[in-house]
Chains A and B, each alone.
Chain A
Amino acid sequence: MKTIEVKGISKNFKDTRALDNVTLTFKENRIYGLLGRNGAGKSTLLNLISNRLFPDSGSICVCGEPVMENDRALSYLFCMSDQDLYPEGMRVEAAFQWSGVFYPDFDMEYAKSLSKKFGLRLNKKIKNLSTGYASIFKLIVALSCNVPFVLLDEPVLGLDANHRDLFYRELLDAYANNPRTFIISTHLIEEVAGIIEQVVIIKEGKVILNDSMENVLSMGYCITGPVAAVDSYAAGKKLLGENVLGGLKSAYFWGQYDTDPLPQGLERSSLDLQKLFIELTNA
């Protein structure tokens, strides 16, 4: 079974608990959104999965094999992060060639065609690339290496709107032509909301949500109206947060909304993924 199984993973850094008993499964051929506030633990999780860090407890298995120090398990994944890991002086084209050595299924022609689309010059030194183009370079490697699990940590850092648009389309194209699992960790929630199927939200090192987009969007809603009416409606329901403007209150709820008619003066509206995320992750 092609999955990434994260079981009971905990990781501490000095006095911070970055991840606390995290258990997750990433299935094959799916696009996941890994969301969380700054410092929530997303990057730590991705670094643990890709053998860059060691967990304090728990285990991670890729396609049934423990990933730690295991070349075979590691060959099933590629992790793209904002760190610059390429040697001083290496040029883009050489980096592509080395990717072909380390990843046998790396598609050089595809990488070159993507470089052309994005305007990435093959003879440029990687260290001389701007933030945006450094991300583009790493994205192209990630899309071209044709492994079952592609981990993208803030993939669109520094990319202008045009390039971001192009990236999402290329990702969907690659996903359609050659299905694999993408795990996208990002702050740009609204942009990825359309393309992700499964949402994982991490808050302070714990997984607080792990569900399909459909379910998630159907579980969040907002009630607006006079303060008293909203408060009495809120009784017995799971309140995520609220917003008061004078005598008008908006309250955000989590749960299957009933289709019964609302009490006088109240209005119901939907919560998009970003609004939901904000309410779920506010302290």
Chain B
Amino acid sequence: MKIKSVFYYQARLFCTPVLVYFLIVIGLYLIGCIPAIVMKDGAEQTIQFSGFDISGVIFIFIMGLCSFKPSFRFFIGNSISRKSQFWGTVGSLIALAAVMSLITTLFSVFFPLLTNYSSFFYIIYNAAYAGLDPKMLYTSVPFLLTCFLWTFLLFLAAAAAGYFLTVFAYRMSKALKLFFFIGVPVLFVVIIPIIDTYLTQMTISHLLVKAVVQSMGFAGFPPNPYIACITFTGITVVFFVLSYLCIRRAVLKEG
């Protein structure tokens, strides 16, 4: 019953940062357009402004990171159960991902008007739309819908990852925190490459790369963005489930 209040609070928290983020993006875009407008005739614009929307992934990941600890103390102090905190926050992250992906998709419609622009989605999956005129794509509703869905699920997965990391870190003792946050990167950056180079003839790296490629829908040709959507959804669910398990027994700590 307190889920709505939690949602409202978290959503309010996101408002200003999101506004600032998009103003910066639009601002940079407009600055990037100046040369294009100045050199109106002649050669195609050389300013590459494509794919910046990937910064949205980082931004929403950080929003996910920020949506637990300070709010947890505030909600607990106002007698709100962890269950309501979880669902309210998940709801607010879903809303955030939806709003951000909507605006990002709209960029795909409006940005090309002034300069050459391709969304990150198009950069990855343009092979799937090879037969179509790029300029027409941006008014093609099926393309935009797929772009929106893919972007939304990617953003949501990033938010879920951020949220999970911060709840997980809150529950971990200092020793365990060190173990995970240093251990996991070390595993991937040092241990696996070493094992691969000397023992398994790069099979592990091969398999990992293959897994990533396939989960993004590049198993066959043309690439299938919907596979990636399923992958992102799976990642989101896993992270949110793990977050719930962590938050269930989170206690109010000193200070």
Contact = CB atoms under 8 A, between A and B. Distances in A.
Interface of A: 47, 50-54, 69-72, 74-75, 77-79, 83, 85-88, 98-99, 101-103
A69 B80 contact: no
Given A52-B76, A88-B70, A98-B9, 7 more contacts: A53-B252, A71-B1, A83-B252, A83-B254, A85-B73, A102-B78, A102-B80
B5 A102 contact: yes
B135 interface: no
Interface stretch (B81-89, B94-102, B187-195, B209-217): B81-89
A69 B81 contact: yes
Contact of A74 (B74, B79, B249): B79
B252 A52 contact: yes
B129 interface: no
Given A83-B254, A101-B9, A51 B73 contact: no
B252 A99 contact: no
Interface of B: 1-2, 5, 8-9, 70-71, 73-74, 76-84, 249, 251-252, 254-255
A180 B79 CA distance: 17
A70 B252 contact: no
A79 B77 CA distance: 7
B81 A71 contact: yes
Nearest to B6: A102
Contacts of B252: 47, 52-53, 83, 85
Given A74-B80, A88-B70, A102-B78, A83 B255 contact: yes
A69 B83 contact: yes
Contact of A71 (B2, B71, B254, B255): B2
The 6 closest A-B pairs by CB, nearest first: A85-B77, A74-B79, A52-B252, A102-B78, A85-B73, A69-B81
A233 B113 CA distance: 102
Contacts of B78: 98-99, 102-103
A72 B76 contact: no
Nearest to B2: A71
Contact of A77 (B1, B79, B81, B254): B79
